[in-house]
C-alpha cells in the first residue's frame, strides 16, 4: 500500500478522471459531472461496468501517502523539500475532507428594504409549515424533500395532524391549477421546480388535500381545526446566526457599455443585540464566524425593484487550503532549489 | 510488512463502510427554526391588513382591498369585472384577479412610488418579459401614439398599452400583456394583465371595465 | 494650394463631383435597408450638379490619430480604433500599403470612395455562394459587391442569431460577424452627414438667404442650417402669419427646411463614433457627433466642437493640410481640456498608445527571434564562435523590445498585461525567452538560444492570430477587475505554462541531440539536467498559480476549488508533472522517457490554456474559439508523429 507504483497508478487514473469529467461537463452540466466523476466512490460506464470515482481515488492516495510517510520516506536534510511537499499534500487531503463534509453553500436574495435571518439553498427544497400569525419570527417546521416518496408520512411536532405525501416530483409542471406532471430533471439543478400533492389528516378524521408548487410566490394558508397554518414548498432554508437587511444597492457600468463595472450592497447585520452597517461588494465579502457573504449578482423584479443576491458560504475549514498551499509551495521551492544547487555543483 | 497489509485492508474497509453509511435513510423528522422576515415599511403595514383578509374565492372584497391599501396615502376603489375572481394582494400589489379556465389570464394592480422607471422603460421591460423582440424607435413611438387613453369613473386618466397590437405574427398561445398606467401625485400605478394572446384579447373588454371603474378615495 | 492626389479607389473616370452627390443619398437609401433596428430615414434621392467641394486628400493624418474616442468602455486614440476596425473587417491592419487611419478617414469623410475597397474578409467560401457573389481568391470583398445582396445577408444573419450561441456552427458565426461588420461600416459612414451639403437643405429664396446670412442659393449642409437655429426660429414666426395652404414659396421653403432638420436630427441615434465626452460633469458617457447635435445643448463648447468637426470634413475634401490639422488639433484640445476637468485620461497616455501602435514592437521582436534561429541553423554549416554571440545578441534585442512592449501595455492599461488570451501568449513568450537566455548563460551551448528563438517566435505568431478579435487592450468584466490575488494568480500560472513549454522544447532538443549526436554523452546529460530543472520550475509555478487561483476564488465567491474546467486544466498540468517525477523515482522511465513526457506536457498546457475555452462551461470563458480546435488537433497529431518516430530511433542509438 505504500508503494510508489500505487501512487503512480492513482495519479494516472486521477488525470484521466479529471480530463473525462471536464469534457463530460459540456453535456451533463457542471453539477452532474461533479457528482458523477469527482464526488462519487464508483461510477458506471455502459450501464454496468464500475470504475473508481474521485472520492475513492483520493482516499487511496491519502492512505498511500500516510503509509509511504511511515515506510518509504527518507528522513534526511537533503530530502527536506520532498518531506515538506508531501506534508503539505496531506494537509490538502485534510482540508478537502473538512470542506467536503462541512461546507454549506446557499444564497440570500433581498430586495431593497427587506431582511432575513435565513438563507436559501441552491438545489435543495423543503416543505415548510408555520402557524399563520403576524408576529415575526415565525416558528417553522421544515421537511427536506430529498426523501419524499409516495404515501410517505411526515411526523409533525406537537400538532394534532399528520401530512402525507401523495405525489412529489423534483421537477414538475402544474396542469390547470389542480394536477402535476413530472418533467425531466434540468442540467442545471437550480432550474428544477418541484411540485407536490399533499394531504393533511387531522385527529378528527378530516382529510385536506392541497397542491404546492415551487414557483409559488406566496404560501398557501390552510385552516385546520381552530388554527391557521401556512404551507410552502420552497428552497431549503438555512438559519443564520444573524439577521441581514439590505438597505441600499447600487451598480455602476462601464461608460457606453452594458458591462457591469461594480455592484455593491449596503447591508445592516444584527446579532446578539449588536447592529452595524457593512458594505459588501465584489472581492469584499462580509465575514462573520464561519460565514462569508459575497456580492453574487443582482436582478430587477417585475415591479422594477432592485434585488441584490449574496452568496452565503458556511465553511469552518475555510483557511485549511491556504495553509496547505503555503506548506506545499514552500516545499516545492525548497526541493527544486536544493536540486538546482546540487546539480550545478556536480556539473562543475 | 504483514502488519501494514492488515492495517491497509482495515482502512479500506473502513472507507467503504463510511461511504455506505452515508446512504442510509433516517426517519422523517422535521427541522425547526425561527425565521425572521424584515419587510420594507410599506409591506409591513399592508401585511398586517392581509392577516384579516378572506381566503381566495370570496366575491367582491373591494372593501378589504381598500383597507389593505389605506396605509398608503392613495386609496383605490375598483369593481371586479364579471367572471373575474379577486384575491387580496400584499405589499405593493393591491389586488390580483384571475379569470376562468377558458381564458386564463392574471391581472394585478400595483402601486409604486415615483416614476417607477418611466413609461418607455417599463413598456420595454414588459416586452422583454413576454419575449417580444425589440422594435425600432420610430415603430415604438408610432405604437405609443396609437394607444388609448381612457378616463375612469373617478376621473383618473389611464394610458392603456396593448402589446397584442405588436404581435400580429405571433401564434395565439404566445404570451402577451395589456397594461394600464396611471400617475397620481408621486405614485405610479400599473394595472397589468398577462396571459396568452388569445386570452388577453378576449378579456380586453373586461380589462377596460376594470380600469374604468378605478376611483380614488381620499381619507 | 490644391494638391492632386491619387484616388486608386475610384475606378471610373466619371465626374467625381457627380459621384459624390450620388453618394450621400444613395448611401442613405441603402442604409435604410441595413439598419432596420436603428434608424428609419429614406431621403428622396435626386442628383445635383453644383458641388462646392473638390474631393482632394490630405497628406498627413497625424492630427486625426490623436483624437480620443470612447470604445468598449476605454478611452483610446482614433489611431487604435482605426487599426482595430480594419483588422476586424479585413484581418489586416493596413490597406493597400496605407495606414489604417488613412482608410478610416476616407470612410468617415468620403465614404462613397471606399465602396469598391475589398476590405470585408469572409472566411468561409460557402457564404459568398449563398449570397450570390462571385468568390474572390483573396477572400476579401468590397461593399459594392455585398450591397446588392444585403437582404439575403440580413435574412441569414437573423436566422443564425436565433440559434443558441453554443450550437451555432462556424458558417453561421461567420455570417453574423459579416453582417455586424457591414452594419458598422454603414453606421460609421453616416457620422459626418451633417457636414456635407444635401438637397434637403436647399435655400434659394434671396430674403431667406440674407436673413440666415448665407451666400448664394445652393444646397447647404445640415449643420449650416442647424447652427443658425436662432435665425431660423425667427423666420419661423413668419409661418404663423398665414394658413399652411396659403403659404408662399418662401414660407414653404422655411417649413421644408425645418422639417428636414427635425427629421434628420432624430434619425441617427447611437452611431458608434463616440468622440465627444458628455457635457454634464457627472456623466462618463461619450456621444457621437449626431448625438451631440440631437442633445441640442446650449453649451457654447458643443457648438464649437461640432463646427470644428465640420471644418475637419471640409478641409479633408479641399486637401487643405493646414486647415485640417488646425481643426483636428483644436478639437482634440477642447476635448482633452474637458477630460482633464473630469479627471479622466490624460493626453500623454494617448500619445503613448499611438507610439505603441506605430512601433509594432512585438513584430520586430519576432523578426529578431527568427533571425537568431536562422543563425542557429546556419551554425551547422559553418561553425564559428562569433555566430553564437550574434544569435545571443539578436535574442537579447528581441527580448528587450518584447519587454518594452509589455511595459507600455501595462502603462496604457494601468494593469498587469495578462488579462486576456492575447496577452497571455505575449507574456508566456516573454518568460520562455527569458528562460532561454538564463539557460544560455548557464550552459553556453546554443540550447538557450534555440529555446528563446523558437518559443519567442511561435508564441508571438499565435498572439498575432488571436489579436484579430478586435481591440486587445480590452477592459475587464466586473469579476475580473484588478485584484491582488487575481493578478498574482494569472502571472504565476502563465509563468508555469511557460516553464512547462520550455521543458517541452528542451525535450525536443534532447531527442534531436540523442538522434544526431549520440556520442556526446556529456551534452546529453547536461540537457537532461536542464530539462529536470525546467520541469521542476514549471511544476512549482503552475502549482503556485493554481493555488493563488483557488485563493482568489475563495476570496471572491467562497469556493477554493470547484472542479471547474479551467481549474481542472491547471490540475492536469500539475498531475502530469507529478506523474513524470514519480515515474522517474519508480525507475519506470529514464531520461528519454522524461523527454517524451515533457514533449507531451506541452499538449497538456495547451489544453489547460485554451483547450478548455472550447468547452465554454463554468466561470472561465473568454474568447478566441474559432479555428483553435483544428489547430490544436493538427498540433497534437504532429507531436505524436514526432514521438513515434523519434523515440524508437533515439532508444536504438543510445543503448
Q: 3-class SS at A289? A: coil
In Å, the largest CA–CA distance within chain A is: 96
The 10 Å CB-count burial string (b at 16+, else e) for C418-443 is bbbbbbbbbbbbbbbbbbbbebbeeb
Residues A134 and A170 in one domain: yes
Q: What is the DSSP letter of A150?
A: T
Say if the Cβ atoms of B4 and A71 lie within 8 Å: yes
Distance CA C490, CA C551 (A): 12
Residues C149 and C176 in one domain: yes
Beta pairing, strands A286-288 & A291-300: antiparallel
Structural domain that includes position B111 = 41-217
- Total domains in chain C come to 4
Residues C64 and C147 in one domain: yes
Query: Minimal Cα–Cα distance from A301 to chain B, Å?
Result: 10
Structural domain that includes position C365 = 360-467
Distance CA C274, CA B77 (A): 50
- Total domains in chain A come to 3
From chain B, the residues in CB contact with C40 under 8 A are 136-139
Confidence label for C503 from pLDDT (cuts 50, 70 and 90): very high
ipTM of model: 0.87
Domain boundary among C344, C375, C393: C344
- B126: nearest Cα among B192, B185, B64: B192
Confidence label for B218 from pLDDT (cuts 50, 70 and 90): low
Question: Does residue C6 form part of some domain?
Answer: no
pLDDT of the residue at A135: 75
From chain B, the residues in CB contact with C36 under 8 A are 136
Residues C121 and C216 in one domain: no
Distance CA B218, CA A136 (A): 31
Residues C515 and C611 in one domain: yes
Question: Does residue C1 form part of some domain?
Answer: no
From chain C, the residues in CB contact with B139 under 8 A are 40
Residues C181 and C211 in one domain: no
Residue C21 to residues C116, C158, C268: CA-CA distances in angstroms? Answer: 17, 33, 20
Say if the Cβ atoms of A137 and B47 lie within 8 Å: no
All cell numbers assigned to B205: 373588454
Residues C112 and C92 in one domain: yes
Question: Does residue C332 form part of some domain?
Answer: yes
From chain A, the residues in CB contact with B35 under 8 A are 116-118, 130, 136-138, 140, 237, 239
Chain C within 8 Å of A283 (Cβ-Cβ)?
yes
pLDDT of the residue at C201: 84
Residues C388 and C408 in one domain: yes
Beta pairing, strands A207-213 & A195-202: antiparallel
Question: Does residue C643 form part of some domain?
Answer: yes
Contact between B103 and B145 under an 8 Å Cβ cutoff? The reply is: no
Confidence label for C494 from pLDDT (cuts 50, 70 and 90): very high
Chain C within 8 Å of A79 (Cβ-Cβ)?
no
From chain A, the residues in CB contact with C568 under 8 A are 18-19, 21-22
Nearest to B37 among A55, A116, A302 (CB): A116
Distance CA B204, CA B161 (A): 11
Say if the Cβ atoms of A143 and B36 lie within 8 Å: no
**How many CB pairs (< 8 A) connect A and B?**
116
Structural domain that includes position A338 = 4-102+319-347
pLDDT, tens digit only, all 348 positions of chain A:
568 888 999 999 999 999 999 988 888 888 888 889 999 888 888 878 889 988 999 999 999 888 888 887 778 888 888 889 999 999 999 999 999 998 999 999 998 888 999 999 999 999 999 988 877 788 899 999 988 888 888 877 667 788 899 989 999 988 876 788 898 888 888 889 999 999 988 877 888 888 899 888 788 888 888 888 899 999 999 999 999 999 988 887 766 565 666 788 999 999 988 999 999 988 789 999 889 999 988 887 766 778 899 999 999 888 999 999 999 999 999 998 888 887 776 655
Chains that touch B (3 or more CB pairs under 8 A): A, C
Q: From chain B, which residues contact C within 8 Å (Cβ)?
A: 134, 136-139
Query: Minimal Cα–Cα distance from A323 to chain B, Å?
Result: 25
pLDDT of the residue at C430: 95
Query: Minimal Cα–Cα distance from B166 to chain A, Å?
Result: 21
Residue C132 to residues A16, C127, C147, C181, C294: CA-CA distances in angstroms? Answer: 48, 9, 11, 19, 39
Dihedral angle sign, alpha carbons of residues C512, C514, C516, C521: positive
Confidence label for C299 from pLDDT (cuts 50, 70 and 90): confident
Residues C333 and C366 in one domain: no
Question: Does residue B185 form part of some domain?
Answer: yes
- Total domains in chain B come to 1
pLDDT higher than 80, residue B52: no
Residues C267 and C304 in one domain: yes
Query: Minimal Cα–Cα distance from B138 to chain C, Å?
Result: 7
Residue B91 region by backbone torsions, left for phi larger than 0, else alpha for psi between -120 and 50, else beta: left
Query: Bridge partners of B88?
Result: B95
Residues A74 and A42 in one domain: yes
Domain boundary among C133, C156, C189: C189
Residues A8 and A98 in one domain: yes
- Chain A's closest residue to B109, CA to CA, is A303
Chain B within 8 Å of A234 (Cβ-Cβ)?
no
Domain CATH number, residue B211: 3.40.1000.10
All cell numbers assigned to A154: 411526515
pLDDT higher than 60, residue B113: no
Confidence label for C366 from pLDDT (cuts 50, 70 and 90): very high
SS3 content of chain C, % helix, strand, coil (to 5): 70, 5, 25
Write the pLDDT tens digit of every residue in B127-168: 777 777 777 777 777 787 778 788 887 778 888 888 888 777
Residues C142 and C212 in one domain: no
Q: Which among A255, A318, A348 is the top mutation candidate for probing chain C, defined by the most C β-carbons within 10 Å of its own β-carbon? A: A255
pLDDT of the residue at C49: 28
Question: Does residue C584 form part of some domain?
Answer: yes
Residues A224 and A185 in one domain: yes
Q: What is the DSSP letter of C7?
A: -
Residues C535 and C596 in one domain: yes
Residues C280 and C321 in one domain: yes
The residue written with cell numbers 485534510 in the block is A94
Distance CA B83, CA B100 (A): 7
All cell numbers assigned to A121: 439553498
Say if the Cβ atoms of A18 and C526 lie within 8 Å: no
The residue written with cell numbers 497571455 in the block is C424
pLDDT higher than 80, residue B81: yes
Q: 3-class SS at C551? A: helix
Of the ranges A93-107, C39-53, C559-573, which one carries the lowest mean pLDDT score? Answer: C39-53
Beta pairing, strands A49-52 & A42-45: antiparallel
Residue C139 to residues C120, C134, C142, C625: CA-CA distances in angstroms? Answer: 8, 10, 10, 21
Amino acid at each position: 500500500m505504500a508503494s510508489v507504483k500505487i501512487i503512480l497508478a492513482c495519479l494516472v487514473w486521477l488525470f484521466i478522471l479529471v480530463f473525462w469529467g471536464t469534457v463530460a461537463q459540456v453535456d451533463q452540466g457542471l453539477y452532474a459531472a461533479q457528482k458523477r466523476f469527482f464526488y462519487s466512490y464508483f461510477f458506471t460506464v455502459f450501464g454496468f461496468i464500475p470504475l473508481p470515482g474521485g472520492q475513492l481515488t483520493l482516499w487511496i492516495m491519502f492512505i498511500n501517502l500516510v503509509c509511504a510517510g511511515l515506510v518509504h520516506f527518507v528522513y534526511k536534510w537533503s530530502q527536506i523539500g520532498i518531506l515538506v511537499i508531501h506534508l503539505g499534500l496531506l494537509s490538502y487531503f485534510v482540508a478537502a475532507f473538512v470542506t467536503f463534509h462541512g461546507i454549506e453553500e446557499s444564497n440570500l436574495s433581498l430586495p431593497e428594504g427587506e431582511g432575513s435571518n435565513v438563507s436559501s439553498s441552491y438545489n435543495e427544497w423543503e416543505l415548510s409549515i408555520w402557524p399563520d400569525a403576524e408576529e415575526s419570527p415565525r416558528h417553522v417546521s421544515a421537511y427536506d424533500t430529498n426523501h419524499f416518496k409516495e404515501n410517505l408520512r411526515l411526523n409533525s411536532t406537537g400538532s394534532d395532524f399528520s401530512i402525507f405525501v401523495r405525489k412529489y416530483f423534483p421537477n414538475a409542471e402544474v396542469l390547470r391549477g389542480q394536477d402535476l406532471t413530472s418533467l425531466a430533471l434540468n442540467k442545471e439543478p437550480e432550474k428544477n421546480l418541484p411540485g407536490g400533492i399533499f394531504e393533511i389528516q387531522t385527529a378528527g378524521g378530516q382529510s385536506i388535500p392541497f397542491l404546492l408548487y415551487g414557483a409559488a410566490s406566496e404560501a398557501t394558508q390552510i385552516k385546520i381545526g381552530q388554527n391557521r397554518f401556512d404551507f410552502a414548498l420552497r428552497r431549503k432554508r438555512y438559519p443564520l446566526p444573524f439577521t441581514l437587511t439590505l438597505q441600499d444597492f447600487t451598480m455602476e457600468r462601464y461608460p457606453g457599455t452594458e458591462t457591469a463595472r461594480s455592484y455593491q450592497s449596503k447591508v445592516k447585520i444584527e446579532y446578539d443585540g449588536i447592529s452595524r452597517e457593512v458594505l459588501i461588494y465584489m472581492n469584499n465579502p462580509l465575514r462573520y464566524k464561519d460565514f462569508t457573504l459575497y456580492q453574487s449578482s443582482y436582478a430587477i423584479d417585475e415591479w422594477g425593484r432592485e434585488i441584490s443576491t449574496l452568496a452565503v458560504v458556511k465553511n469552518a475549514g475555510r483557511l485549511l487550503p491556504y495553509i496547505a498551499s503555503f506548506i506545499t509551495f514552500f516545499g516545492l521551492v525548497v526541493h527544486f532549489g536544493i536540486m538546482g544547487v546540487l546539480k550545478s555543483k556536480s556539473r562543475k | 510488512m504483514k502488519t501494514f497489509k492488515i492495517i491497509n485492508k482495515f482502512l479500506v474497509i473502513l472507507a467503504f463502510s463510511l461511504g455506505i453509511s452515508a446512504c442510509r435513510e433516517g426517519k422523517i423528522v422535521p427541522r425547526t427554526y425561527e425565521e425572521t422576515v424584515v419587510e420594507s415599511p410599506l409591506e409591513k403595514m399592508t401585511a398586517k391588513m392581509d392577516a384579516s383578509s378572506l381566503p381566495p374565492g370570496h366575491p367582491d372584497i373591494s372593501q378589504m382591498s381598500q383597507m389593505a391599501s389605506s396605509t398608503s396615502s392613495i386609496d383605490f376603489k375598483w369593481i371586479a369585472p364579471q367572471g373575474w375572481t379577486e384575491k387580496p394582494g400584499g405589499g405593493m400589489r393591491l389586488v390580483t384577479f384571475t379569470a376562468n379556465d377558458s381564458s386564463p389570464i392574471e391581472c394585478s394592480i400595483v402601486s409604486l412610488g415615483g416614476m417607477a422607471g418611466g413609461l418607455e422603460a417599463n413598456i420595454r421591460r414588459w416586452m422583454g418579459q413576454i419575449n417580444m423582440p425589440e422594435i425600432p424607435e420610430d415603430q415604438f413611438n408610432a405604437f405609443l401614439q396609437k394607444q388609448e387613453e381612457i378616463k375612469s369613473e373617478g376621473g383618473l386618466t389611464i394610458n392603456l398599452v396593448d402589446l397584442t397590437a405588436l404581435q400580429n405574427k405571433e401564434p395565439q398561445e404566445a404570451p402577451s400583456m395589456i397594461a394600464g398606467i396611471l400617475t397620481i401625485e408621486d405614485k405610479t400605478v400599473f394595472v397589468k394583465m398577462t396571459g396568452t394572446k388569445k386570452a388577453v384579447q378576449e378579456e380586453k373588454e373586461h380589462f377596460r371595465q376594470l380600469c374604468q371603474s378605478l376611483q380614488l378615495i381620499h381619507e | 494650394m490644391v494638391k492632386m492626389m491619387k484616388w486608386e479607389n475610384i475606378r471610373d473616370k466619371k465626374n467625381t463631383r457627380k459621384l459624390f452627390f450620388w453618394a450621400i443619398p444613395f448611401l442613405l437609401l441603402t442604409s435604410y435597408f441595413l439598419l432596420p433596428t436603428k434608424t428609419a430615414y429614406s431621403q428622396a434621392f435626386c442628383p445635383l450638379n453644383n458641388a462646392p467641394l473638390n474631393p482632394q486628400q490630405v497628406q498627413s493624418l497625424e492630427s486625426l490619430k490623436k483624437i480620443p474616442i470612447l470604445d468598449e468602455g476605454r478611452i483610446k486614440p482614433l489611431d487604435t480604433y482605426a487599426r482595430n476596425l480594419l483588422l476586424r473587417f479585413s484581418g489586416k491592419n493596413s490597406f493597400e500599403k496605407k495606414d489604417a487611419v488613412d482608410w478610416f478617414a476616407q470612410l468617415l469623410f468620403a465614404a462613397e470612395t471606399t465602396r469598391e475597397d475589398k476590405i470585408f474578409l469572409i472566411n468561409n467560401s460557402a457564404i459568398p455562394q449563398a449570397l450570390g457573389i462571385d468568390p474572390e481568391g483573396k477572400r476579401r470583398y468590397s461593399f459594392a459587391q455585398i450591397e446588392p445582396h444585403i437582404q439575403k445577408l440580413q435574412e441569414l444573419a437573423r436566422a443564425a442569431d436565433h440559434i443558441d450561441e453554443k450550437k451555432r456552427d462556424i458558417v453561421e458565426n461567420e455570417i453574423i460577424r459579416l453582417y455586424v461588420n457591414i452594419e458598422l461600416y454603414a453606421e460609421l459612414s453616416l457620422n459626418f452627414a451633417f457636414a456635407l451639403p444635401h438637397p434637403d437643405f436647399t435655400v434659394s429664396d434671396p430674403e431667406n438667404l440674407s436673413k440666415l446670412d448665407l451666400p448664394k442659393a445652393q444646397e447647404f449642409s445640415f449643420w449650416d442650417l442647424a447652427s443658425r437655429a436662432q435665425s431660423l426660429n425667427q423666420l419661423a414666426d413668419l409661418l404663423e402669419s398665414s394658413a399652411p395652404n396659403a403659404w408662399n414659396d418662401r414660407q414653404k421653403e422655411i417649413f421644408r427646411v425645418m422639417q428636414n432638420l427635425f427629421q434628420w436630427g432624430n434619425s441617427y441615434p447611437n452611431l458608434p463614433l463616440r468622440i465627444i465626452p458628455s457635457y454634464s460633469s457627472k456623466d462618463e458617457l461619450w456621444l457621437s457627433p449626431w448625438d451631440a447635435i440631437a442633445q441640442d445643448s446650449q453649451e457654447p463648447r458643443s457648438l464649437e466642437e461640432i463646427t470644428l468637426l465640420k471644418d475637419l470634413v471640409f478641409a479633408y475634401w479641399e486637401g487643405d493640410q493646414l486647415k485640417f490639422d488646425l481643426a483636428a488639433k483644436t478639437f482634440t484640445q477642447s476635448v482633452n481640456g474637458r477630460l482633464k476637468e473630469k479627471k479622466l485620461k490624460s493626453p500623454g497616455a494617448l500619445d503613448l498608445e499611438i507610439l505603441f501602435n506605430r512601433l509594432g514592437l512585438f513584430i520586430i521582436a519576432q523578426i529578431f527571434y527568427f533571425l537568431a534561429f536562422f543563425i542557429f541553423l546556419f551554425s551547422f554549416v559553418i561553425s564559428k564562435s562569433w555566430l553564437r554571440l550574434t544569435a545571443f545578441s539578436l535574442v537579447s534585442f528581441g527580448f528587450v523590445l518584447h519587454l518594452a512592449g509589455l511595459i507600455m501595455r501595462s502603462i496604457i492599461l494601468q494593469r498587469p498585461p495578462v488579462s486576456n488570451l492575447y496577452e497571455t501568449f505575449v507574456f508566456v513568450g516573454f518568460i520562455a525567452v527569458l528562460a532561454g537566455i538564463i539557460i544560455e548563460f548557464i550552459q553556453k551551448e546554443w540550447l538557450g538560444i534555440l529555446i528563446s528563438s523558437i518559443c519567442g517566435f511561435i508564441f508571438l505568431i499565435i498572439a498575432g492570430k488571436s489579436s484579430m478579435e478586435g481591440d486587445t487592450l480590452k477592459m475587464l468584466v466586473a469579476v475580473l477587475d484588478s485584484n491582488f490575488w487575481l493578478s498574482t494568480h494569472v502571472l504565476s500560472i502563465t509563468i508555469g505554462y511557460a516553464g512547462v513549454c520550455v521543458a517541452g522544447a528542451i525535450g525536443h532538443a534532447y531527442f534531436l541531440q540523442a538522434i544526431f549526436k549520440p556520442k556526446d554523452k556529456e551534452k546529453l546529460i547536461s540537457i537532461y539536467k536542464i530539462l529536470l530543472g525546467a520541469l521542476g520550475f514549471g511544476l512549482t509555478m503552475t502549482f503556485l498559480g493554481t493555488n493563488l487561483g483557488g485563493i482568489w476564488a475563495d476570496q471572491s465567491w467562497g469556493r477554493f476549488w470547484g472542479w471547474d474546467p479551467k481549474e481542472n486544466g491547471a490540475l492536469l498540468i500539475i498531475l502530469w508533472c507529478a506523474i513524470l517525477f514519480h515515474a522517474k523515482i519508480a525507475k519506470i522511465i529514464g531520461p528519454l522517457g522524461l523527454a517524451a513526457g515533457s514533449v507531451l506536457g506541452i499538449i497538456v498546457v495547451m489544453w489547460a490554456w485554451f483547450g478548455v475555452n472550447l468547452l465554454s462551461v463554468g466561470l472561465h470563458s473568454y474568447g478566441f474559439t474559432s479555428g483553435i480546435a483544428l489547430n490544436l488537433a493538427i498540433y497534437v497529431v504532429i507531436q505524436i508523429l514526432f514521438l513515434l518516430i523519434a523515440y524508437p530511433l533515439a532508444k536504438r542509438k543510445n543503448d
